[in-house]
Amino acid sequence: MTLILTFLGKGGTGRSTVAIAAAQKLSAVGKRVLLISQEAGPALSMLLGSEAGEAIGAKAAKVTLGSSSFQVVQLQTTVLLDENWEKLKSFEAQYLRDPFFKAVYGQELSVIPGMDDFLALNAIREYTESNQYDVIVHDGSGDQSSLRMWGAIGGIDWYFRRFKKVFQDSQFYRSISPFIGPITGAILSGGSSGDIWSRPETRSVESMVAKGKALVSDPMQLRAYVVTTADEVAIAQGKYLWSAAQQIGLSVTGAIVNSISPGQAETTGAFAPLPLTTLPYSVGGDRWQRLAQALPALTEPVSVPAAMSVDAANSTVKLFLPGFDKTQVKLTQYGPEVTVQAGDQRHNLSLPPALNGRSVTGAKFQDGYLIISFG
């Protein structure tokens, strides 16, 4: 199984530096490592140094730092867009009588907001499923927008489920239902589609979504580290991102304090109970090795509080939201699901069958935990 490591933190705290050092550390002990960068521009290449940096591109390439080697890829959205457009066209050609996407070339397509993250997420999925890597070190934007990406699987899944139900219940659906048969018959190759919700393609997407949701909440498949400096704004922003990550079910398993100038002040216990690692101020040729040595074990099982835990016997769900207080968290049950809103995010809880569909009867905040009771 591949473990994905990702890093959260304010810009300028050295997340890319920590990511490179992590890749170096893990490849030095024999792990097959892929470093995936989502940042466009020359920064990663310059950080890796002239020799290693030259190989960097949209295809995974080997770089050697010190005595160990790993693969690096700098995702390019235009390249991913072209590849996925070709896949979509061949999918279309297979199912539609008269494909119409085929008239459009991938190379024409503009990149609009959201595409970067959806295409990156899909690329990470493909690299994970290739079984070529023990560890994927992900160097993304590290802020709220990274959390949107990791939350996207749950979010999209919610939209499909919710709107499928609304659609099927609507008079709109009843109005157009006489036409659905003839239309699908006219456009799908092989004629009428039967129930589109039970077709094999629908089922395969459903199983992909279920796997993706399980991945995000399993710290042996995906874990985040908060990177900060001793600067108080960086620490506060790191704490915010820690909570915001937990809120969407992504476990943060440690905090890393990067020394970006010599003689930096000590950082206090802002991230308790997370294990905290302080990296030495490090420049020069052997900096990667020194940073790698100072990093904690990154792939071992961890004993930090889970982002979410369910106690079916007592009909309660506990969410660990360390940086929020009760005024910042809103719990609603407008639709069929329980929604937790905090940190400008909404998370529709994936509940076990025993609690699914039941009403919330109470909620309290205690020692950083939001404890929700079901009736």
In the complex, minimum distance from the CB of residue 56 to a copy of itself, in angstroms, rounded to a whole number = 13
Cβ-based neighbours of 192, under 8 Å, separated by 6 or more: 181, 184, 185
Residues in binding contact with a copy of itself, number by CB under 8 A: 84
Instruction: Measure the CA angle with vertex 21, ends 268 and 123; round to 5°.
Output: 110
Q: Can you list the positions of beta strands (E) in 30-127?
A: 33-37, 61-65, 68-74
Is it true that the peptide bond before 273 is cis, omega within 30 degrees of 0?
yes
Q: How far is residue 47's CA from residue 90's CA, in Å, rounded to a whole number?
A: 39
Cβ-based neighbours of 221, under 8 Å, separated by 6 or more: 1, 2, 3, 4, 214, 215
In contact, 27 and 135? CB cutoff 8 Å: no
Our CB check for a copy of itself shows the closer of 98 and 300 to be 98
Our CB check for a copy of itself shows the closer of 135 and 291 to be 291
Our CB check for a copy of itself shows the closer of 38 and 68 to be 38
Binding mask 216-235 for a copy of itself (x = CB under 8 A): ----------------xx--
Helix (H, G, I), strand (E, B) or coil at 335: coil
Q: How far is CA 280 from the centre of its chain?
A: 29
Q: Within 344-373, which residues bind a copy of itself (CB under 8 A)?
A: 344-348
In contact, 267 and 322? CB cutoff 8 Å: no
Q: Which stretch binds a copy of itself (CB under 8 A): 19-27, 189-197, 332-340, 350-358?
A: 332-340
Q: Residue 221 corresponds to which tokens in the numbers above?
A: 């498949």
In the complex, minimum distance from the CB of residue 201 to a copy of itself, in angstroms, rounded to a whole number = 19
- Give me the sheet containing 369-374, strands edge to edge: 308-311, 316-320, 369-374, 360-366
- DSSP H or E segment with residue 145: helix 144-169
Q: How far is residue 266's CA from residue 333's CA, in Å, rounded to a whole number?
A: 43
In the complex, minimum distance from the CB of residue 232 to a copy of itself, in angstroms, rounded to a whole number = 7
Our CB check for a copy of itself shows the closer of 254 and 343 to be 343
Q: How far is residue 335's CA from residue 246's CA, in Å, rounded to a whole number?
A: 23
User: Which long-range contacts does 182-187 make (Cβ < 8 Å, 24+ apart)?
Assistant: 186/97, 187/96, 187/97, 187/98
In the complex, minimum distance from the CB of residue 134 to a copy of itself, in angstroms, rounded to a whole number = 27
In contact, 349 and 338? CB cutoff 8 Å: yes
Q: Can you list the positions of beta strands (E) in 111-266?
A: 135-139, 222-228, 252-257
303 contributes a contact to a copy of itself by CB under 8 A: no
Q: Within 66-95, which residues bind a copy of itself (CB under 8 A)?
A: 76-78
Our CB check for a copy of itself shows the closer of 68 and 237 to be 237
Our CB check for a copy of itself shows the closer of 133 and 225 to be 225
Q: Residue 353 corresponds to which tokens in the numbers above?
A: 């069958």
In contact, 271 and 241? CB cutoff 8 Å: no
Our CB check for a copy of itself shows the closer of 13 and 24 to be 13
Our CB check for a copy of itself shows the closer of 3 and 239 to be 239
In the complex, minimum distance from the CB of residue 255 to a copy of itself, in angstroms, rounded to a whole number = 16
Binding residue for a copy of itself, selected from 131, 309, 332, 356, defined by CB under 8 A:
332
Q: Within 167-206, which residues bind a copy of itself (CB under 8 A)?
A: 167, 169-173, 175-176, 179, 182-183, 186-187
Q: Within 132-171, which residues bind a copy of itself (CB under 8 A)?
A: 141, 143-145, 148-149, 151-152, 154-156, 158-159, 162-163, 166-167, 169-171
Using the 8-state DSSP alphabet, how is residue 307 labeled?
Answer: S
Binding mask 244-283 for a copy of itself (x = CB under 8 A): x----------------x----------------------
Binding mask 11-50 for a copy of itself (x = CB under 8 A): xxx-------------------------xxxxx--xx---
Our CB check for a copy of itself shows the closer of 93 and 220 to be 93
In the complex, minimum distance from the CB of residue 294 to a copy of itself, in angstroms, rounded to a whole number = 21
Q: Within 94-123, which residues bind a copy of itself (CB under 8 A)?
A: 96-101, 103-105, 107-118
Q: How far is residue 299's CA from residue 26's CA, in Å, rounded to a whole number?
A: 9
Our CB check for a copy of itself shows the closer of 206 and 231 to be 231
